[in-house]
Chain A
Amino acid sequence: GAVVSQHPSRVICKSGTSVKIECRSLDFQATTMFWYRQFPKQSLMLMATSNEGSKATYEQGVEKDKFLINHASLTLSTLTVTSAHPEDSSFYICSAATGDTNSPLHFGNGTRLTVT
């Protein structure tokens, strides 16, 4: 149980275009999802917390107009990287909370974004 699916696993886009990444909880409802960013050989850095039906909460230094988050249902959150630049190239990972606050977060398999 507690499977989180992320799509696409890999995407290459040109500078100035936008890219949408999907995060789905497959066998549970997730009122809260989290988006992380990871650079090579570094740890996961939280970008934002996504709550179903409300606005996302962004961490300090993360531009909300650049990283648009939508959590329209209990099983789907999306992250859209708008007007992508090469420095946005990174590994983006989502996680979802099952509703049991005593349980660990479960993660998707990440999306490798390359902006050319």
Chain B
Amino acid sequence: GESVGLHLPTLSVQEGDNSIINCAYSNSASDYFIWYKQESGKGPQFIIDIRSNMDKRQGQRVTVLLNKTVKHLSLQIAATQPGDSAVYFCAERQGSGYSTLTFGKGTMLLVSP
């Protein structure tokens, strides 16, 4: 969903379920995408990245899917655990080198035991 005002979209799941967090990015020229996890009071933690020449990449319990046609990115978390509860941000990089990242609005994931 889209964020409205100061309210983060929230995804609530049960422990053990699979979670899918979505992100729409803005620039068709972006070539590099990253998912970050941010726990309360902490900085963003790298989860997984993907380049624009790929459409899928898998990590441990996580999969990122990239659909360049519709400028859409998703993060799939398998067997979600309470420790996965956090805010998840997608970020896109526009250009090469040390070009800065642009962060999406974020999605709060709440995992119930």
Contact = CB atoms under 8 A, between A and B. Distances in A.
Interface of A: 4, 6, 32, 34, 40-46, 49, 93, 95, 97, 101-102, 104-110, 112
A106 to B, nearest CB: 7
B100 A43 contact: no
B42 A109 contact: yes
A6 B43 contact: yes
A40 B7 CA distance: 10
Contacts of B46: 104, 106
A15 B40 CA distance: 26
Contacts of B97: 101
Contact of B89 (A44, A46, A109): A44
A95 B98 CA distance: 12
B44 A93 contact: yes
B62 interface: no
B7 A41 contact: yes
B42 A43 contact: no
Contacts, number: 49
Interface string B5-27: 01110000000000000000000
B58 interface: no
A102 B50 CA distance: 10
B45 interface: yes
Contacts of A110: 41-43
A101 B93 CA distance: 11
A95 B36 CA distance: 13
Nearest to A99: B98
Contacts of A104: 34, 46, 49
Contacts of A42: 6, 105-106
15 contacts: A32-B98, A34-B100, A41-B8, A42-B6, A44-B44, A44-B89, A46-B100, A93-B44, A95-B43, A101-B97, A102-B32, A104-B46, A107-B43, A107-B45, A110-B41
